[in-house]
């Protein structure tokens, strides 16, 4: 077993910022692929003769496979090597993008999307884990701030890029370029990653916790499937039965991991994290944040495109103030590094809530048309809140994760991110469409339904502010730079070979 000493830990890799750019590119590809498909739905249905249920699985299949794979494949990266797992994942993701683009039938497209989601789950836990082990504690806050920029840009770039590519109808390929565009980007990322990402020695070769993987997969599956399918099928009894079953499998998972710990066997999610109040609170905060954002942009797209006749491109352009706000706030957040984490989390959540309150007021003035200029201020304010929140949130959660468990911790973080996103889309969609059904047709109905859904967003971000206030007073990633602290032992942890 080889161990990094303090001197090694004080000399970070000189290629770390180039490494970060590659990791951000991979993260951007994943995020944009979640949203870009939405604008292609009419084109897909017309070209492939797909049913509503089949089109739903083109979108949902990716999310389900991604969510199921995050935790076990994140842990596998800890064992076999994060660079290796990242390169396998992004290579597979690029190949599956090609399969999506050339699929002759909707059934083959769904299969390709399932594989694409699984390969995304191979690479994405390694993205955060590599940042965790590559950057010294004092630089992590700034490094994580770029993930806020990436998330904000991807949330708008997906619909924008999708609308532009479909409108251009390159070589009469209709919807196919939205997948094929990943090929040159993915090939570049594979080559650059192979050359530039440092080799971090994997942990000890131990047996994979197979039962833990099965219990975790059953738990995530029992949560995600009802949330994805529930609104479309009218929330039948089986949806609630599956969600109830997830409590049973989650409890069994914890007991199994405790049993593995007593036997000194490797755990899929280490019990030290399951017991850590700081980590669990951080997962709850992550779910709250991402329950708000994806569901919000889903409703914005319906509000503008269906309610007021915006094209996909016009709808995407109308939401540009949000990523601009994210970008500016993330740059400012980067200057703080790892200081004032708790205060910044509370401020970011309250800024998001203020932006939603402003949007509620603006939407209330809408009559027969909506001007994108009226949305500029509230969306920009929401972007500022998002950019203020993401970097300290990721940094404060992962700072309590030891380097040897970085993949597992990152996988758990992103699993809760996906669960939160699915929950937000399901609940916000239910609120919006129920209000729309009771209000009738016409622009006024879409206005009233959108206002009702904004109340949910407001409540979510106030909850996030409350959860942020419950963080321990010492919840500050800069403390991890102390090699004698508990979190410091994680940051200067043994890298086993």
Whether the predicted pLDDT of 8 surpasses 50: no
Mean pLDDT confidence for 474-494: 39
Confidence of residue 15 (pLDDT cuts 50, 70, 90): confident
Q: What is the pLDDT of residue 190?
A: 94
Work out the percent of the chain whose per-residue pLDDT is above 90.
Answer: 26
More confident residue, 361 or 423: 361
Q: What is the pLDDT of residue 484?
A: 37
More confident residue, 239 or 75: 239
Burial class (CB in 10 A: 0-12, 13-18, 19+), 53: exposed
Q: What is the pLDDT of residue 194?
A: 92
Work out the percent of the chain whose per-residue pLDDT is above 70.
Answer: 88
Q: What is the pLDDT of residue 462?
A: 95
- Rounded Cα gap, residues 226 and 422, in angstroms: 9
Whether the predicted pLDDT of 210 surpasses 70: yes
Token pair recorded at residue 92: 């597979």
- Rounded Cα gap, residues 10 and 20, in angstroms: 19
Check: CB of residue 457 under 8 Å from CB of residue 300.
no
- Rounded Cα gap, residues 37 and 43, in angstroms: 10
pLDDT one-digit tens code per residue, 80-117: 888 999 999 999 999 999 999 999 999 999 999 999 99
Q: What is the pLDDT of residue 206?
A: 61
Q: What is the pLDDT of residue 152?
A: 67
Most confident of 136-145, 204-213, 246-255, 421-430: 246-255
Whether the predicted pLDDT of 9 surpasses 80: no
- Give the chain's mean pLDDT: 81
Confidence of residue 2 (pLDDT cuts 50, 70, 90): very low
Whether the predicted pLDDT of 155 surpasses 80: no
Return all residues near 118 (Cβ < 8 A) that are at least 6 apart. Answer: 65, 66, 68, 69, 73, 92
Check: CB of residue 206 under 8 Å from CB of residue 264.
no
Whether the predicted pLDDT of 30 surpasses 90: no
pLDDT one-digit tens code per residue, 350-404: 999 999 999 999 998 888 888 889 999 999 999 999 888 887 887 777 777 776 7
Mean pLDDT confidence for 185-201: 88
Return the biggest CA–CA distance within the chain. Answer: 69
Confidence of residue 474 (pLDDT cuts 50, 70, 90): low
Mean pLDDT confidence for 227-246: 87
The model carries a pTM of: 0.76
Whether the predicted pLDDT of 465 surpasses 90: yes
- Residue owning tokens 């609308």: 163
Whether the predicted pLDDT of 75 surpasses 70: yes
Burial class (CB in 10 A: 0-12, 13-18, 19+), 303: buried
Whether the predicted pLDDT of 473 surpasses 90: no
Whether the predicted pLDDT of 320 surpasses 50: yes
Q: Distances from the Cα of 110 to the Cαs of 57, 64, 160, 418, in angstroms?
A: 6, 12, 23, 19
Whether the predicted pLDDT of 219 surpasses 50: yes
Q: What is the pLDDT of residue 171?
A: 79
Check: CB of residue 67 under 8 Å from CB of residue 418.
yes
Token pair recorded at residue 377: 């201020």
Confidence of residue 482 (pLDDT cuts 50, 70, 90): very low
pLDDT one-digit tens code per residue, 440-458: 777 888 899 999 999 999 9
Whether the predicted pLDDT of 487 surpasses 50: no
Q: What is the pLDDT of residue 108?
A: 94
Determine the Cα angle at 465 with ends 462 and 470, to 5°. Answer: 130
Mean pLDDT confidence for 169-197: 89
- Rounded Cα gap, residues 372 and 387, in angstroms: 22
């Amino acid at each position: 077993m080889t161990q990094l000493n303090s001197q090694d830990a004080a000399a970070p890799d000189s290629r770390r910022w180039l490494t970060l750019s590659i990791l951000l590119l991979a993260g951007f590809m994943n995020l944009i692929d979640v949203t870009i498909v939405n604008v292609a739905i009419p084109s897909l249905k017309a070209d492939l003769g797909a049913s509503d249920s089949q089109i739903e699985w083109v979108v949902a299949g990716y999310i389900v496979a991604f969510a199921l794979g995050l935790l076990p494949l994140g842990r596998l990266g800890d064992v076999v090597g994060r660079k290796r797992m990242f390169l396998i994942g992004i290579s597979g993701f690029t190949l599956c993008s090609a399969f999506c683009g050339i699929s002759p039938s909707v059934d083959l497209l769904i299969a390709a999307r399932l594989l694409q989601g699984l390969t995304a789950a191979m690479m994405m836990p390694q993205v955060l884990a590599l940042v965790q082990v590559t950057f010294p504690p004092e630089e992590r806050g700034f490094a994580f701030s770029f993930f806020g920029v990436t998330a904000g840009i991807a949330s708008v770039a997906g619909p924008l890029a999708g609308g532009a590519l479909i409108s251009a109808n390159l070589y009469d390929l209709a919807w196919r370029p939205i997948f094929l565009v990943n090929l040159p980007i993915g090939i570049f990322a594979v080559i650059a990653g192979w050359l530039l990402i440092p080799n971090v020695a994997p942990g000890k070769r131990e047996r994979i916790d197979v039962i833990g993987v099965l219990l975790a997969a059953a738990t995530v599956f029992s949560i995600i499937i009802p949330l994805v399918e529930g609104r479309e099928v009218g929330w039948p009894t089986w949806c609630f039965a599956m969600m109830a079953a997830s409590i049973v499998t989650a409890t069994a998972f914890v007991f199994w991991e405790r049993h593995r710990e007593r036997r000194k066997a490797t755990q899929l999610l280490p019990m030290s994290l399951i017991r850590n109040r700081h980590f669990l609170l951080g997962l709850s905060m992550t779910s709250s944040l991402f329950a708000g954002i994806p569901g919000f942009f889903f409703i914005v797209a319906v509000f503008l495109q269906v309610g007021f006749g915006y094209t996909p491109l016009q709808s995407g352009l109308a939401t540009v103030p949000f990523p601009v706000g994210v970008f500016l706030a993330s740059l400012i957040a980067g200057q703080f590094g790892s200081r004032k984490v708790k205060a910044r989390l509370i401020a970011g959540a309250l800024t998001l809530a203020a932006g939603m309150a402003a949007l509620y007021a603006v939407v209330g003035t809408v009559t027969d048309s909506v001007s994108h200029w009226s949305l500029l201020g509230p969306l920009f304010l929401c972007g500022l809140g998002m950019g203020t929140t993401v970097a300290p949130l990721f940094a404060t959660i992962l700072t309590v994760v030891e380097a040897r468990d970085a993949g597992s911790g990152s996988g758990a973080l992103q699993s809760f991110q996906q669960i939160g996103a699915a929950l937000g889309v399901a609940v916000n969609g239910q609120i919006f469409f129920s209000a729309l059904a009771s209000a009738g047709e016409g622009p006024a109905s879409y206005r009233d339904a959108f206002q009702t859904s904004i109340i949910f967003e407001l409540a979510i971000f106030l909850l996030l502010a409350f959860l942020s206030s419950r963080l321990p007073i010492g919840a500050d990633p800069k403390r991890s730079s102390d090699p004698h602290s508990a979190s410091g032992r994680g940051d200067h942890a043994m890298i086993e070979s």
